[in-house]
């Protein structure tokens, strides 16, 4: 979790919101690329990351029809609210008995106000980590090699953060604790571009003990 004062202040705000509305089981603030800025969740870290990845898919699809403002889904066991606040997203999961009026106040008034205040009083912008949460896809075949494949846009973004230094190797960390470094290349399959995936050779998947569809953390390797 980010220890930037900005992120700490947001996490404290989410904690106070949960105290005000105990029916909220998960509250997350994340960016478009899936970086979690702040969270207060009863779920473990792996489950939280999987939730964010699912929310990312929703926001990406929403962009094709005019961007997401607010989404409210009510099920038999609870409800989920997802809303966009400037360049960030707020996701709330609550019990089915949660007060809708309070939830609407949180998404439309309280959190936007907190973000506005923090953007005003924080002397420096939030420094988000360069790691990404990506879904695993597998590469197989005799000529696959050991390199992984990632969207070129991600590699370009990392390069900008590293003073235009090209990213040739990445560090991959599974939620089970296994980690490794691999050479990285651009995703070749056009159908997989822009899907938030990392294509990993099967033998590397075995080393990391991950399977297709699982989420891993990926960042530029320190050289």
Distance CA(86)–CA(46), nearest Å, equals 26
Q: What is the pLDDT of residue 1?
A: 44
For residue 95, give both structure tokens: 């019990």
101 and 167 assigned to the same domain: no
179 and 95 assigned to the same domain: no
101 and 184 assigned to the same domain: no
86: left (phi over 0), alpha (psi -120 to 50) or beta: left
**How far are the Cα atoms of 10, 114, 118 from residue 111, in angstroms, in the given order?**
9, 5, 11
The maximal CA–CA distance of the chain, rounded, in angstroms, is 58
Distance CA(56)–CA(48), nearest Å, equals 12
Q: What is the pLDDT of residue 177?
A: 83
The pLDDT profile of the chain, 223 residues, written as one tens digit per residue, is 445 677 888 889 999 999 989 999 989 998 877 778 888 887 777 777 777 777 777 776 666 555 667 788 888 888 988 888 888 889 999 998 888 899 989 998 999 998 888 877 765 455 544 678 899 999 988 888 889 999 999 998 888 877 788 899 999 999 888 999 999 999 988 888 888 899 999 999 999 999 999 999 899 987 6
Residue appearing with tokens 């953390």: 217
Could you give phi then psi for residue 200, rounded to 5 degrees? Answer: -120, 130
204 and 101 assigned to the same domain: no
107 and 34 assigned to the same domain: yes
Neighbour count for residue 51 (Cβ, 10 Å): 21
Could you tell me if residue 127 is inside a domain? no
Query: Residue 161 sits in a domain of what CATH number?
Result: 2.40.40.20
Distance CA(110)–CA(167), nearest Å, equals 40
Q: What is the pLDDT of residue 67?
A: 63
Q: What is the pLDDT of residue 23?
A: 92
Distance CA(69)–CA(17), nearest Å, equals 21
Could you tell me if residue 126 is inside a domain? no
- With residue 201 as reference, give the H or E element that holds it: strand 197-201
Distance CA(104)–CA(139), nearest Å, equals 44
117 and 200 assigned to the same domain: no
Query: Residue 91 sits in a domain of what CATH number?
Result: 3.30.450.30
117 and 33 assigned to the same domain: yes
Helix, strand or coil for residue 174? strand
82 and 40 assigned to the same domain: yes
Q: Across the beta sheet with 24-31, what order do the strands follow?
A: 36-41, 24-31, 88-95, 78-85, 70-74
Q: How many helices (H) and strands (E) does the chain have?
A: 6, 11
Number of domains composing the chain: 2
Q: What is the pLDDT of residue 84?
A: 87
167 and 61 assigned to the same domain: no
115 and 141 assigned to the same domain: no
Domain that holds residue 211: 132-220
156 and 80 assigned to the same domain: no
Q: What is the pLDDT of residue 2?
A: 47
């Amino acid at each position: 979790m980010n220890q930037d004062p900005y992120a700490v202040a947001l996490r404290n705000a989410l904690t106070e919101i949960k105290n005000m509305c105990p029916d909220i089981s998960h509250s997350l603030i994340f960016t478009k690329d899936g970086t979690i800025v702040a969270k207060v969740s009863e779920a473990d870290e792996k489950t939280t990351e999987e939730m964010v990845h699912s929310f990312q898919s929703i926001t990406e699809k929403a962009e094709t029809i005019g961007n997401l403002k607010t989404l409210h889904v009510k099920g038999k066991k609870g409800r989920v609210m997802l809303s966009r606040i400037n360049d960030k997203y707020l996701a709330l999961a609550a019990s089915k008995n949660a007060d809708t009026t309070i939830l609407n106040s949180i998404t439309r008034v309280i959190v936007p106000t907190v973000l506005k205040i923090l953007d005003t009083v924080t002397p420096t912008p939030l420094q988000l980590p360069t790691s990404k949460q990506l879904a695993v896809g597998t590469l197989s075949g005799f000529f696959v090699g050991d390199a992984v494949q990632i969207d070129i846009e991600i590699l370009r973004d990392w390069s900008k953060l590293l003073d235009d230094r090209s990213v040739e190797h990445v560090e991959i960390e599974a939620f089970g604790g296994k980690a490794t470094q691999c050479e990285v290349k651009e995703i070749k399959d056009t159908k997989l571009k822009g899907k938030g995936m990392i294509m990993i050779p099967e033998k590397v998947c075995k080393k990391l003990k991950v399977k297709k569809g699982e989420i891993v953390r990926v960042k530029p390797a320190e050289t």
